[in-house]
């Protein structure tokens, strides 16, 4: 019982914080913060997923921008491509009845039939999961950091293909992505009067991811991942299938990125190729490092703050450089995260009373 309370408490506190933040913003009449805040929430979901790969499985992924774009573009393409001319009317009717299809008329009154957002979302997740599997399977069988290069290459290719294909709208990307009605009154869209609802949708999604990842890291699979970090040889000798576990973590994290990409695309009503830019992926990586690597709470906090500031344009032309520089500083000065660094500093400040007698903590 006590364990259940201890497990639920942080989530309850987070929920209270979410509500409090909304009330403060509304009270301060700063509703225009909401748009960037919602975007920051979705990007933070990517960062939290990456935290699983970097902090727990100990692998570098430079492809999360690509996965995000893959999710977003799949949703965008499937919900904007007109199927009215390609399918027979009976088929259209049947598909619409079971909720897969969505018929309406376009601006000029012509019939428009597209896939509904739900099946498009599911397709986006499946596609991204499959791609991550293909990338991760060979790279994670090997010892070393092959995944980093494989994913960097993947991100680059996605970016170039998006820029170079008519199918994905070249540099303009895809616009006119319809709102996604999750439930009556709950719609993912960027409409002004819908901002508070969308804030809660994004927060709800974030809380779900937090819950999901905390469960994972607290379970036997999380323990096994941490054991790989400590000693991969010993973990393997104890029966932990390390390549499979790393692959699973990588695929989960890619699918989370795709889910965030899909939601943000519906929120923004479109998506552009810059989402797959290598720099986006480096940003996600920076935020995980700045949060303390194997620290989901840290990654979440740092990511929300910095992404929000970046989206507000606080860093100006130095936006990229800030993230690159931060990455170097964090890894060289505070490799265990700024939290631990501050804690260590404070401990060193305090005069050590019994430092003479006791032996130093055994090195690990």
Residues 203-232 contacting other proteins, CB under 8 A: 212-213, 215-216, 219-224, 226-227, 229-232
- Region at 109 (left for phi over 0; alpha for psi -120 to 50; beta for the rest): left
Q: By C-beta, is 10 or 335 nearer to other proteins?
A: 335
Q: By C-beta, is 25 or 252 nearer to other proteins?
A: 252
Q: Which of residues 164-203 bind other proteins (CB under 8 A)?
A: 164-165
Q: By C-beta, is 86 or 244 nearer to other proteins?
A: 244
With both helix axes pointing from N to C terminus, report the angle between 195-218 and 242-268 in degrees, rounded to the nearest 10: 180
**Rounded to whole angstroms, how far apart are CA atoms 229 and 347?**
26
**Rounded to whole angstroms, how far apart are CA atoms 92 and 115?**
10
Contacts of residue 288, defined as CB under 8 A and 6 or more positions apart, other chains included, come to 47, 50, 51, 54, 55, 299
Regarding 362 and contact with other proteins (CB under 8 A), the answer is yes
Q: DSSP for 143-186?
A: SSSHHHHHHHHHHHHHHHHHHH-GGGTGGG-EE-PPPEEEETTE
Regarding 160 and contact with other proteins (CB under 8 A), the answer is yes
Residue corresponding to tokens 């494989």? 150
Residue 114 backbone dihedrals phi, psi, to 5 degrees: -125, 170
Task: Please pick, from the candidates 33, 146, 200, 315, the single residue that binds other proteins as defined by CB under 8 A.
Answer: 146
Q: Which of residues 101-120 bind other proteins (CB under 8 A)?
A: none
What track of x and - describes contact with other proteins for positions 259 through 278 (by CB under 8 A)?
A: -------------------x
Q: By C-beta, is 355 or 364 nearer to other proteins?
A: 364
Q: By C-beta, is 28 or 166 nearer to other proteins?
A: 166
Task: Please pick, from the candidates 85, 88, 184, 233, the single residue that binds other proteins as defined by CB under 8 A.
Answer: 233
What does the block give as tokens for 24?
Answer: 């403060």
Task: Please pick, from the candidates 14, 21, 123, 163, the single residue that binds other proteins as defined by CB under 8 A.
Answer: 163
- HSE (CB half, 13 Å, CA atoms) of 55? 31
The CB-of-211 to other proteins minimum distance in angstroms stands at 8
Regarding 235 and contact with other proteins (CB under 8 A), the answer is yes
In 21-76, DSSP assigns E strands to none
Task: Please pick, from the candidates 237, 346, 353, 360, the single residue that binds other proteins as defined by CB under 8 A.
Answer: 237
Residue 354: count other Cβ atoms within 10 Å of its Cβ. 6
The CB-of-20 to other proteins minimum distance in angstroms stands at 26
Regarding 279 and contact with other proteins (CB under 8 A), the answer is yes
Task: Please pick, from the candidates 157, 171, 192, 343, the single residue that binds other proteins as defined by CB under 8 A.
Answer: 157
């Amino acid at each position: 019982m006590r364990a259940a309370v201890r497990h639920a408490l942080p989530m309850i506190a987070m929920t209270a914080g979410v509500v409090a933040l909304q009330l403060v913003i509304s009270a301060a009449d700063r509703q225009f913060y909401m748009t960037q805040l919602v975007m920051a929430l979705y990007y933070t979901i990517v960062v939290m997923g990456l935290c699983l790969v970097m902090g727990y499985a100990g692998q570098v992924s430079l492809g999360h921008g690509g996965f995000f774009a893959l999710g977003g573009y799949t949703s965008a393409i499937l919900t904007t491509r007109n199927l009215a001319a390609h399918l027979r009317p009976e088929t259209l009717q049947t598909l619409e009845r079971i909720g897969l299809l969505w018929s309406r008329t376009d601006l000029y009154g012509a019939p428009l039939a597209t896939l509904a957002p739900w099946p498009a979302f599911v397709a986006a997740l499946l596609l991204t999961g499959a791609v991550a599997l293909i990338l991760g399977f060979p790279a994670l069988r090997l010892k070393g950091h092959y995944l980093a290069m494989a994913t960097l290459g993947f991100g680059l290719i996605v970016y170039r293909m998006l820029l170079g294909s008519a199918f994905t709208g070249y540099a303009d990307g895809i616009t006119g992505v319809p709102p996604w009605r999750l439930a009556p009154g709950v719609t993912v869209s960027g409409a002004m009067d819908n901002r508070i609802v969308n804030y809660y949708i994004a927060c709800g999604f974030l809380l779900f991811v937090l819950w999901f990842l905390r469960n994972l890291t607290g379970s036997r699979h999380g323990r096994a991942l941490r054991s790989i970090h400590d000693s991969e040889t010993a973990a393997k000798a104890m029966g932990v299938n390390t390549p499979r576990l790393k692959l699973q973590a990588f695929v989960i994290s890619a699918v989370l990125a795709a889910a965030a990409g899909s939601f943000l695309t519906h929120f923004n009503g479109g998506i552009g190729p810059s989402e797959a830019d290598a720099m986006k992926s480096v940003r996600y990586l920076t935020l995980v490092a700045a949060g303390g690597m194997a620290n989901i709470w840290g990654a979440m906090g740092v990511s929300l703050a910095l992404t929000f500031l970046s989206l507000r344009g606080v860093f100006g032309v130095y936006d990229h450089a800030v993230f690159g520089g931060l990455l170097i500083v964090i890894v060289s000065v505070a490799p265990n995260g700024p939290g631990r660094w501050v804690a260590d500093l404070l401990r060193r400040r305090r005069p050590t009373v019994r430092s003479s007698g006791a032996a130093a903590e055994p090195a690990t």
